[in-house]
Amino acid sequence: MTDDSASLSSILRVERSRLVGEVRVSGAKNSVLRLLAASLLTSERIVLHNYPASLLDAIVHVGMLEALGKTCVVNGDTLTIEEATVPPSDLEWQGRSIRNTLLILGALVARTGAGSVPMPGGCDLGDRKTDLHEMVLTRLGARVWYEGERLFAEAPNGLTGADIVLPMRSTGATENALIAASLARGTTRLWNPHIRPEILDLARFLERMGAKITVYGQESIEIVGAEQLDGIVHRVMPDNMEAMTWLIGSVITGGDIEIHDFPASDLEVPLIFLRESGAKVFCAGDTAIVRSGRAYPVEISTGPYPGINSDMQPLFAAMGACARGESRIVDLRFINRYAYLEEFAKMGIASDVRSGTAHIQGTSAIHGADVRALDLRAGSALSLLGMVANGSTRITDAWQIERGYDQFLAKAKALGANMQYGG
């Protein structure tokens, strides 16, 4: 599915279903987009295996790379990136923007000494500032400023390593520091980074390209920049959010599924909470077996890795909506990320937010309704609820789901989901 076709087929109809069968997890959205940005740091060939080719945000990002002089060829789940011309400093882009333009800016100023990009897009989760990205680039010696709807940065003499202290653990700022510092002169020490599996995947990628990167637990990262970076072949890590989606979908539909390429080591804490809430999950190697059980109320708060991240909480909310009793969810990253509860209410799910905590009343009387995917994860949560609802559920703006899931519809239908695009 292309970005254009998804926008034309933005209504997803879901009927009551039970998930049964086997599914393989694709490459991770939150890793591959960072790797695509980092590919701008070299003129040499980059090959990505386990590439999630139908993921809409990846399609947009590949278009941006092509606008910057790269040639991108997809063959199955392999993407080959080569450089046709030296990248210009300015990303001229008229299509839908993505949050990753901030990392493209870091890569451009690191490689060419200057860059400008459209303001970032992505999910509307409330206050998502760019100040930490600006701080990172400024500390490395760049001048950063806004003009209209564009963000600019320049460092005519190149970037220089520095000590950078993040006031909060920011995934994006950590990624930008890794990318930009990999071509900076000298050593960069990043304090208080957000260490999570996708960050470590990016660090491995950059290290294999030629940067010297040492991760000191959750305390700091040291990056020794290289004069130039090499091309490499890399396998994209599996998507833990996709794995969580199929797992929770199986639990609430009373399903029996096997999930292959399941990243169990990246999901140790979420799995503890899921098992406490009734999920019957058995992990062996890279396969998870999920057997039918009963959902119990969930009580979680989001936090940095290895905890439950903010993207996961709408999925936990869907599980809580199917449980008997009250579930409580606190999002410590995006304190207002509960707008999807208004869509839940249209399906008969009662909830309220008090003092930053979402209280969700589980019910067995969920019914189909016309709802809207306010963002990527809200859309996937609604699609799961549509499979337990009585009657038909119509999800508008369902293209949001395809932004972050590779072959979502095909995989869901292969597991027995009764869903299709179109009114």
Name residue 223's beta-bridge partners: 188, 213
Closest by alpha carbon to 332, among 165, 197, 168?
Answer: 168
Tokens of 409: 């519809």
Is the CB of residue 394 less than 8 Å from the CB of residue 13?
yes
Positions marked active-site = 123
Question: Which run of H or E residues covers position 103?
Answer: helix 101-112
Task: Give 351's contacts (C-beta < 8 A, 6+ positions apart).
Answer: 341, 344, 345, 358, 359, 360, 361
Tokens of 277: 């809430």
In the DSSP assignment, the letter for residue 47 is E
Three-state secondary structure call for residue 263: coil
Closest by alpha carbon to 202, among 121, 193, 64?
Answer: 193
Residues, the chain: 423
DSSP string, 195-206: --HHHHHHHHHH
Q: Where are the alpha helices (DSSP H) in 159-264?
A: 171-181, 197-209, 240-252
